[in-house]
Amino acid sequence: MDANEFRRHGHELVDWIAEYLDGGVRGHAVRARVAPGEVRSQLPPEPPARGEPFSRVMADFERVLLPGVTHWQHPRFFAYFPANNSYPSVLGELLSAGLGVQGMLWETGPAATELEEVVMGWLRRMLGLPAEFQGVIQDTASTAALAALLCARERATHGRFNTEGAAAPQADRLVVYVSPETHSSIEKGARIAGFGRERVRKVPVGAAYALDPVALEATVAADLAAGLVPACCVGTCGTTGSTALDPLRAIGETCRRHGMWFHVDAALAGAAAILSEKRHILDGVELADSFVFNPHKWMFTNFDCSAFFVRDPDFLVKVLSINPEYLRTAHDGGVSNFRDWHVQLGRRFRALKLWFVIRTFGVEGIRARLREHLAWAQEFRSWVEADPDWELLAPVPLNLICFRWAPLSADPRALDALNERLLRAVNDGGQLYLSHTRLGGDYALRLCVGQTTQTRDDVAAAWRILGETARAIARPA
Ligand SMILES: Cc1ncc(COP(=O)(O)O)c(C=O)c1O
């Protein structure tokens, strides 16, 4: 492909994306309807020996791949958590690809490094995080949590794990505290970091599915009495199951008392703290050692882009830096070399898309959209609460509603199966995509508001379609 062809196909592709995002996506079933293996079976196992015209590649994209795409940008995608994008974000990503910068060192990407420092400072101010927090963009919240766990491990072994490995003092006695509602990435990180699954304590939650700080204190005390070493506690602001808000201040105080690393996971909900009326969800974050939220979930910045902040960047760098000769430069010392701030070496110029998003939306533009999402979520909650055939299963502090169909005539023991059937029917229908969880043992439907091009009508349509589908299921055959 030469520059002229790139220009031509690039324009065509941008047109394609614009048409897709500007309503074309609505013409597709939200969740892909292909069977396992269906896409692969249409693609040749051997790579082409000779180059093919781009138009043929694009035609195959439309014919073979597009039917196998689940449309995460569909306004009626309500499953999991959003991974919303936006035009400026897509353009930032394109420019980053065009520049092809790999900003592992300041020297290999001065603009990438310094723009990242600036936009992370913007995010810190937007969320009202402590002034001493410094941030770095990671690919995902899972990777950020792993970095936090590695720091916790190093601190709890008096800075000796990196050198002595499992022989470091206390290394075989470290404990991590989470709740049963904490994201699975923490347990995975704890396994990778060598804490061991059995040393991940699931502290019980209270009525609203938030970690119980009294139970945390008791669990820590029992572990201390058994000769174990509390190393880390993860508090979640907006759990995956139900956006429960763990009591960060109380958890942070326990962490301080026992010298534990305190990591706050606000992967989805952190975005809401941009709103002054929701900032309280981060009350106590000033006690944290590390904090993560994902602009790639609910801040119009396409995947991946995870904002990780630490109180003591020097400690993070000490834990994660390694300095082979070939990576040494004349600037070491006076600048940030972000390769030392995360697990991998290489890194993309992700700050560019974030900069494009924040500048083109403006902070007020982002706030306005989040407020709409929050208001529509509350409306949906009120519809559920007002209908005797439906039941709300958790509080709705933000943009996620957990609920179930509970017709008065149904046997309560049949509700799980009934709701599973309803979810399958709704998702198979292609007009909506929702997901599920279990809360207090009950099967719960999850509807998360937060798509970039979503409207109130989409949320209302979801309620209508759920009702119609439920009535069709209930109707005698
Ligand atoms: C609370 C929470 N933490 C962490 C994650 C993992 O996010 P990521 O895909 O960025 O690793 C999720 C994903 O939904 C989440 O909900």
239 CA to centre of ligand 1 in angstroms: 9
From the CA of 15, how far away is ligand 1's center (Å)?
32
Question: Does 398 have pLDDT greater than 80?
Answer: yes
The reported pLDDT for the residue numbered 330 is: 80
Pick the residue whose CA is nearest to atom 16 on ligand 1: 240
Question: What is the C-alpha to C-alpha distance for residues 87 and 62, in angstroms, rounded to an integer?
Answer: 21
**What average pLDDT does this structure show over 385-406?**
98
Distance in angstroms (rounded) separating the CA atoms of residues 148 and 151: 5
Task: Give the percent of the chain with pLDDT over 90.
Answer: 95
Interval between CA 329 and ligand 1 midpoint (Å): 35
pLDDT of residue 109: 95
Q: What integer pLDDT is reported at residue 186 of this predicted model?
A: 98
For residue 177, the model assigns a pLDDT of 98
Q: Which atom of ligand 1 is nearest to the CA of 238?
A: 1
Distance 287 CA to ligand 1 centre (A): 21
pLDDT for the residue numbered 354: 98
Ligand 1 and 138: CB distance under 6 A = no
Q: Would the CB of 157 count as within 6 Å of ligand 1?
A: no
pLDDT, tens digit (0-9, with 9 covering 90-100), for 81-134: 999 999 999 999 999 999 999 999 999 999 999 999 999 999 999 999 999 999
The pLDDT, as a whole number, for residue 458 is 98
Contact between 103 and 457 (Cβ < 8 Å)? no
Query: Rounded CA gap, 186 and 143, in Å?
Result: 10
Banded pLDDT at 332 (limits 50, 70, 90): confident
List the domains of the chain with CATH numbers.
Answer: 101-348 (3.40.640.10)
Task: Confirm or reject: Cβ of 240 under 6 Å from ligand 1.
Answer: yes
pLDDT value at 209 more than 80: yes
What pLDDT was estimated at residue 328?
Answer: 85
Q: What is the pLDDT of residue 47?
A: 96
Which of these, 121, 152, 174, 172, lies nearest to 264 by C-alpha position?
152
- DSSP assignments along 217-267, one per residue: HHHHHHHHHTT-EEEEEEEEBS-TTT--B--HHHHHHHHHHHT-EEEEE-T
Residue 477 has pLDDT above 80, yes or no: no
Task: Indicate the pTM of the whole model.
Answer: 0.96
By the 8 A CB rule, do 346 and 101 touch? no
Does the beta carbon of 264 lie inside 6 Å of ligand 1? no
pLDDT digits (tens, 9 = 90+) for 215-254: 999 999 999 999 999 999 999 999 999 999 999 999 999 9
Residue whose pair of structure tokens reads 């509350």 in the numeric block: 378
Q: Is the CB of 185 inside a 6 Å radius of any atom of ligand 1?
A: yes
- Residue 353 burial (10 A CB sphere; 0-12, 13-18, 19+): buried
Check if the beta carbon of residue 263 is closer than 8 Å to that of residue 289.
yes
pLDDT higher than threshold 90 for residue 179: yes
Evaluate the omega torsion of the peptide bond into residue 139 and state whether it is cis, within 30 degrees of 0.
Answer: no
Q: What integer pLDDT is reported at residue 326 of this predicted model?
A: 81
The pLDDT of residue 322? 87
The protein residue with its alpha carbon nearest to ligand 1, atom 9, reads 140
Q: Which of 234, 265, 299, 303 to mutate to test the pocket of ligand 1 (most atoms within 8 A of CB)?
A: 265
pLDDT tens digits for range 337-357: 999 999 999 999 999 999 999
Tokens 């929702």 locate to 434
- What percentage of residues in the chain have a pLDDT greater than 70? 100
Q: What is the pLDDT of residue 258?
A: 97
- Is the pLDDT reported for residue 476 higher than 80? no
